[in-house]
Amino acid sequence: MPSAKAFRVSERRKSINQPLKSRARNLVTRTRKLIVDGDIEGAEVAAKGAVVALDKAAGKGAMHRNTVSRKKSRLIKHLNDAKNIQE
């Protein structure tokens, strides 16, 4: 069981990190949904927002930089595949 101070620290970090992670996850999910629905222009705009949110989360330490890099890479690959299929 952690000490009272460690618990307070973890709660404070969680309150700072959770909104950053949630925003990034929500934007990635929204982008993927737009891709599946076929709205490529909307997905491109959403992808830019998702990349910014992921970078902010990595910059503030809420998410690991390698995790963010992997998520961005997969998202952009999914978007590019959808663009090539549509053409």
For 10-62, the pLDDT digits (tens) are: 999 999 999 999 999 999 999 999 999 999 999 999 999 999 999 999 999 99
pTM for the model stands at: 0.90
Domain range enclosing 45: 4-86
pLDDT at 19: 98
CA distances from 28 to 20, 36, 44, 54, 62 (A): 12, 12, 11, 9, 16
Total domains, the chain: 1
Structure confidence by residue, pLDDT tens digits, 50-86: 999 999 999 999 999 999 999 999 999 999 999 998 8
Determine the pLDDT at residue 13. Answer: 96
